[in-house]
Amino acid sequence: MTLLRNIPPLEIESRSFSIIENEFFQRTELEKASIDPLEFAIIRRVIHATGDFSFAKTMIFNEDAARIGIEAMREGSDIFIDVGMGASGINRTILGSFGGQVICPITEPGITERARELGKTRTETALRSIADRQPGIIAVGNAPTALIAAMELIDEGHLKPALVIGVPVGFVNAEESKDLLGTKEYPFITNKGRKGGSPVAVAIINALLKLSQE
């Protein structure tokens, strides 16, 4: 017989985090104490968003990426995210308290037509359209083409974000684009393999926002 827990809504997140921490070693064979506290907070929220403990072993943070992301949030950086589903999940209240905004131009007028003319995806076209706005954080959870375009624009000097969050999901160039991001020297957060998606990108962003308040 299945027994459901009667938990007040405001306690669900904290109870979930407690369960994740209690099961963390059993599920991952990793000691929490061996992981940087900022990185663990991000990994924990990703596990919470996905129900998947495997992210504990596949997420990659290059040196100081979490700290740099927190500083960028506190400085009021704008966040580009590739798709509307991701944009809707970002905690705009916290972001706005620092002066930042969410940038997600994929549905703006002209993007679809411009993408068709160029033979590009809408997400890539949307990203290239906002280079002059210089978002402080680039987050890609859905489209490898957007992550590839972001890296090209950074290499060309057209974009200079404080942090790149690249966790696209899929079977065509998702894993490869993340492998390429892993070779970069600028701050990034990514993961190995085909898993990822907008929920992962949003979880990383919201974890950084929560940490920025502490």
In this prediction, residue 10 carries a pLDDT of 66
Active-site residue (options: 48, 122, 178, 195)? 48
In this prediction, residue 1 carries a pLDDT of 62
Under 8 Å between Cβ of 32 and 185: no
Distance, CA of 22 to CA of 190 (rounded, Å)? 25
Q: What is the 3-state secondary structure (H, E, C) of the chain?
A: CCCCCCCCHHHHHHHHHHHHHHHHHHHHCCCHHHCCHHHHHHHHHHHHHHCCCCHHHHEEECCCHHHHHHHHHHCCCCEEECCHHHHHHCCHHHHHHCCCCEECHHHCCCHHHHHHHHCCCHHHHHHHHCHHHCCCEEEECCCHHHHHHHHHHHHCCCCCCCEEEECCCCCCCHHHHHHHHCCCCCCEEEECCCCCCHHHHHHHHHHHHHHHHC
Distance, CA of 74 to CA of 39 (rounded, Å)? 17
In this prediction, residue 4 carries a pLDDT of 62
Report pTM. 0.93
**Maximum CA extent, the chain:** 60
Tokens of 65: 């990426």
User: Could you tell me the residue ranges of all domains in the chain?
Assistant: 34-213
* pLDDT tens digit at each of 214 positions of the chain: 666 677 776 678 899 999 999 999 999 999 999 999 999 999 999 999 999 999 999 999 998 999 999 999 999 999 999 888 999 999 999 999 999 999 988 877 888 888 888 888 888 888 788 778 889 999 999 989 889 999 999 999 989 999 999 999 999 999 999 999 999 999 999 999 999 999 999 999 999 999 999 8
In this prediction, residue 122 carries a pLDDT of 84
Q: Which fold has domain 34-213?
A: Rossmann fold (3.40.50)
**48 noted as active-site residue:** yes
